């Protein structure tokens, strides 16, 4: 198993702290900071480039790694010799879908918690997400409650699921809700997530022979929510490494879990305001909350939340679960707006875009300088100075996305220049 030192190496590689419920400005250019779109004129009459494009946007500094096959900024050429014309538009924001995996402990001490989860998943979690307009799926990995005696299991009714009442013989899925019914013990939720991902450990009703992975979408952000009063036998770094090995395209790669966030409702002590979360930058808490039987403050789950920019709440605050679930749902909704992607605009009539000349201009908050990001052709060449074009969208590389999302006052412009912006590595 990885050591604590290897865990902290993962922390350094992971996403930086994202302020709780703060909608960052990375994808919202300032009103007076419009992007310049350079387009090739196909109408037969070439228009000169805009003056401000030549002086500010046409070429990046030599150290940026941008390739200029012409050897000089586009504005340095005579107007009659260029095929570029200028147009301005704001990048169209792309909202990222979210797949939420809730894993709940079914051990004997979890009856109050299970009832609170049942009461809040529809009303205070799903409803908050619905109101925000997020395209979400909710996957519950926990034993289904098929009788009144199963007080530590969970049965979810409409509108999320297709069940009119609980208990019920088996889960009934809805358009956004799925349940992988398996008994989650006090210490095995992490290993169980790995074993059930592809169906290695089957669900109770054989509703997902290929595991809960069948319900994940390729383009979604993954959000996990752990609910337990105990501690895991699997270390955080080991779990993340194994999870990314199962599906790097879903969860992240190269030691950086950039595609997931882990929230925790666990046995740690409450803050002064019991429903206020611990933020990622706050240290691991050693004290347990006061309430029903709690066996551990869950340091492993705290590590997972801190690694991935997630929130941590005390499990003992049953009366405050409505606000806890609302807060987590609001955080999910906010993060879905931080997808580092922009739709490529439709060019004006008679003009066409040349995709190898697309660039992204990042203006750090509080800085007058502009950092130009160039284009790479595949994810293996990604860096914090680069992006990819996927279909009709511009997608920032994970490293660039991390850097920009950490800047609460950032502005991002999409630029179409007169020279190639391809980065050769």
Q: What is the CATH number of the domain that holds 200?
A: 3.40.50
Over residues 393-421, the mean pLDDT reads 78
- Predicted confidence (pLDDT) at residue 130 exceeds the cutoff of 80: yes
Distance (Å, whole) CA 297 – CA 314: 8
Across the range 140-152, mean pLDDT stands at: 97
Residue 24 pLDDT exceeds 60: no
Among 336, 371, 388, residue at a domain's last position: 336
Instruction: Please check whether residues 215 and 85 belong to one and the same domain.
Output: no
> Looking at the domain assignment, is residue 425 inside a domain?
no
In angstroms, the Cα distances linking 51 to 28, 47, 85 are 24, 12, 11
Q: Based on the domain organization, do 302 and 379 belong to the same domain?
A: no
**Residue after which a domain boundary falls, among 336, 352, 383:** 336
Residue 422 lies in a domain: no
Residues 243, 222 share a domain:
yes
- Within a domain: 2: no
Same domain? 179 vs 246: yes
Mean pLDDT check: name the lowest of 132-146, 153-167, 230-244, 378-392: 378-392
Does residue 195 share a domain with residue 301?
yes
Cα(98)–Cα(250) distance, integer angstroms: 12
pLDDT in tens, 216-252: 999 898 999 999 999 999 999 999 999 999 999 999 9
308 close to 259: Cβ distance less than 8 angstroms: no
Average pLDDT over residues 296-324: 93
Query: Are 196 and 268 in the same domain?
Result: yes
Examine the domain organization and report whether 49 and 158 are in the same domain.
no
Distance CA 311, CA 319 (A): 19
Q: Which two three-digit tokens encode residue 304? A: 């997972």
Does 6 reside within a domain?
A: no
The DSSP bridge pattern shows strands 98-104 and 136-141 to be parallel
pTM: predicted TM-score of the whole model, two decimal places? 0.67
Please check whether residues 42 and 55 belong to one and the same domain.
yes
Q: Is residue 250 part of a domain?
A: yes
DSSP 420: -
- pLDDT of 249-293, one tens digit each? 999 988 888 889 999 999 999 999 989 999 988 999 999 998 768
Cis peptide before 335 (omega within 30 of 0): no
Domain shared by 21 and 170, yes or no? no
Rounded to whole angstroms, what are the CA distances from 232 to 287, 349, 351?
16, 60, 58
Tell me the pLDDT of the chain averaged across its residues. 78
- The per-residue pLDDT for 342 is 78
317 vs 202, which has greater pLDDT?
A: 202
Same domain membership, residue 247 and residue 152: yes
Sign of the CA dihedral running 223, 124, 153, 268: positive
Whether 179 and 302 share a structural domain: yes
CA distance 278 to 291: 19
Say whether both 106 and 199 belong to one domain: yes
Domain range for 263 is: 98-336
Residue 4 lies in a domain: no
Question: Domain total for the chain?
Answer: 2
Task: Give exposure, 393-419, as e/b (b: 16+ Cβ within 10 Å).
Answer: bbbbbbbbbbbbbbbeebbbbbbbbbb
At a CB cut-off of 8 Å and minimum separation 6, what does 319 contact? Answer: none
Average pLDDT over residues 146-169: 97
- Measured at the CA of 228, the angle between CA 285 and CA 21, to 5 degrees, comes to 65
Q: Is 300 part of any domain?
A: yes
In this prediction, residue 420 has a pLDDT band, given cuts at 50, 70 and 90, of confident
Looking at 336, 351, 383, the residue that finishes a domain is: 336
Task: For residue 7, tell me if it sits in a domain.
Answer: no
């Amino acid at each position: 198993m990885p050591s604590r030192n290897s865990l902290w190496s993962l922390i350094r590689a992971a996403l930086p702290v994202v302020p709780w419920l703060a909608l960052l400005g990375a994808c919202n250019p300032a009103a007076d900071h419009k992007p310049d779109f350079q387009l090739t004129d196909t109408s037969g009459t070439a228009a000169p480039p805009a003056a401000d494009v030549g002086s500010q946007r046409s070429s990046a500094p030599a150290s940026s790694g941008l390739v200029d096959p012409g050897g000089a900024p586009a504005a340095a050429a005579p107007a009659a010799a260029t095929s570029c014309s200028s147009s301005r538009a704001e990048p169209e924001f792309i909202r990222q879908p979210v797949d939420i995996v809730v894993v709940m402990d079914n051990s004997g001490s979890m009856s109050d918690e299970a009832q609170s989860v049942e009461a809040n998943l529809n009303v205070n979690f799903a409803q908050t997400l619905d109101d925000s307009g997020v395209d979400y799926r909710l996957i519950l990995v926990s034993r289904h409650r098929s009788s009144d005696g199963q007080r530590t299991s969970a049965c979810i009714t409409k509108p999320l699921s297709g069940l009119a009442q609980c208990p019920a013989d088996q889960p009934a899925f809805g358009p956004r809700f799925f349940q992988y019914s398996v008994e989650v013990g006090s210490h095995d939720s992490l290993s169980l997530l790995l074993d059930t991902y592809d169906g290695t450990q089957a669900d109770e009703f054989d509703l997902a022979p290929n595991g809960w992975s069948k319900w994940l979408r390729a383009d979604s952000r993954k959000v996990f929510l752990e609910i337990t009063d105990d501690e895991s036998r699997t270390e955080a770094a080991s779990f993340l490494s194994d999870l990314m090995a199962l599906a790097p395209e879903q969860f992240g790669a190269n030691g950086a879990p950039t595609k997931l966030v882990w929230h925790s409702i666990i046995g740690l002590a409450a803050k002064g305001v019991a429903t206020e979360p611990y933020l990622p930058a706050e240290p691991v808490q050693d004290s347990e909350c006061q309430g029903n039987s709690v066996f551990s403050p869950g340091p492993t789950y705290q590590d997972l939340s801190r690694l991935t920019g997630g929130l941590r709440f005390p499990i003992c605050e049953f009366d405050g679960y409505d606000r806890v679930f609302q807060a987590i749902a609001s955080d999910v909704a906010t993060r879905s707006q931080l997808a580092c992607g922009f739709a490529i605009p439709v060019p004006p009539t008679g003009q066409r875009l040349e995709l190898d000349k697309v660039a992204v201009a990042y203006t750090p908050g509080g800085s007058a300088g502009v950092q130009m990001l160039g284009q790479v052709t595949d994810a293996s060449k990604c860096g914090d100075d680069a992006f990819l074009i996927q279909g009709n969208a511009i997608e920032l590389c994970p490293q660039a996305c991390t850097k920009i999302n950490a800047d609460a006052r950032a502005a991002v412009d999409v630029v179409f220049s007169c020279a190639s912006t391809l980065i050769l590595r």
